[in-house]
Structure 1
Amino acid sequence: MRPPPDGTRRHIQKQQSTSRNETEMNGIEQRIANVLSTSFKVDPNAIDSDVTFLALKFDSLVLIELSLILEKEFGTPIEDGELTDDMTINDAAELIAAKGATV
């Protein structure tokens, strides 16, 4: 049996990498959702990937507090102002993942 052409192998590797990245992002989003519901008493039904912090009625002071909690949760620094009220939970998860945090 012949091995698959290089293009096929790269496609399979890309699919596996994408699946891993999606799983990791979902795990990070879940941990953020857990912080929102436990630390900030946000109704879990109001939390999804596309909800903004503004929609959750988070102001700049709450976002600073959230940043500090997420720093401890993920072990990665989040600078003041990196989380903004127009960000979604998915955006926050992408920021945290880009800083090297894992599930």
Structure 2
Amino acid sequence: MSTPAIPLDFTRLSLLLQQHFGIEPSALRPDIVLRAAGMDTYAVLELAVILQDDFGAPVNVDDLNPDHTVGEVLQMTAA
């Protein structure tokens, strides 16, 4: 059974990145690249799983990588 999609906005994604990955709030902007925020490939994989499991977001783990911006991640979750 899949989790129903929960709307994800910049504020929720920022809180998720702060709480799960320890990223400073000042480092989070829609144009910041995940790698520049300190996320490696494994962290991005974990992010994709969290987005799928907790938010029901249609994020394909193969499509998400550390070179995406926070804004691009939001766009992927809305697809």
Q: So what's the TM-score if we normalise by structure 1?
A: 0.63
- What's the % identity of the aligned pairs? 27
Pick aligned residue for 1:93 from 56, 70, 74: 74
Unaligned runs of 5+ in 1: 1-23, 99-103
Unaligned runs of 5+ in 2: 1-6
Q: RMSD in angstroms over aligned alpha carbons?
A: 1.6
User: 1:60-99 counterparts in 2 under 5 A?
Assistant: 60-98=41-79
Flag the structure with larger Rg.
1
Q: So what's the TM-score if we normalise by structure 2?
A: 0.80
Residue 73 of structure 1 deviates from its aligned partner by 3.0
The structure whose RCO (Cα within 8 Å, separation 6+) is larger is: 2
Q: Which residue of 2 aligns with 1:31?
A: 12
The total of aligned residue pairs comes to 73
- Alpha-carbon distance in structure 2 between the residues aligned to 1:71 and 1:28: 15
